[in-house]
């Protein structure tokens, strides 16, 4: 009886040793779990490209790959739709910054991505 009273008294005045983590932080969709560990992707992000539009499209394309790895097909389909929409929306803006000697190839690549 004395032991149980002692345990109750101690537990009232001390913090619990084991803490329960916030479930929202441990969710598989938490921002902290989406760390880019793809070497090729990291190299692409390391390129000195200061074009907001192409980075926005790149982000969606990179997300498709990670969504498919995680078997999140609806999210991958959504990212495909967004990337295609952005590509169509930014097409002329992107082509303006391409050097003339590479424009033909850029148009071919963009058209292929739009299909």
Q: ∠ at Cα 74 (71, 80), nearest 5°?
A: 105
Q: What would the mean pLDDT of 97-109 be, rounded to a whole number?
A: 91
Give CA–CA dist 101/52, Å, rounded. 23
Structure tokens at 36: 């880019």
Summarize pLDDT for 20-53 with one digit per residue, the tens: 445 555 554 445 556 667 777 777 777 777 888 8
Distance CA 89, CA 67 (A): 23
Nearest to 34 by CA among 65, 13, 77, 58: 65
């Amino acid at each position: 009886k004395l032991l149980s009273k002692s345990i109750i008294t101690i537990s009232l005045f001390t913090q619990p040793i084991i803490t329960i983590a916030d479930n929202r932080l441990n969710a598989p969709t938490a921002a902290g779990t989406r760390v880019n560990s793809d070497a090729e992707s990291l190299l692409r992000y390391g390129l000195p490209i200061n074009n907001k539009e192409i980075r926005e499209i790149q982000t969606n394309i990179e997300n498709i790959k990670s969504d498919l790895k995680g078997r999140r097909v609806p999210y991958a389909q959504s990212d495909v739709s967004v990337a295609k929409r952005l590509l169509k929306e930014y097409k002329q803006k992107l082509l303006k910054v391409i050097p003339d000697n590479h424009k033909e190839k850029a148009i071919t690549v963009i058209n292929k991505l739009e299909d």
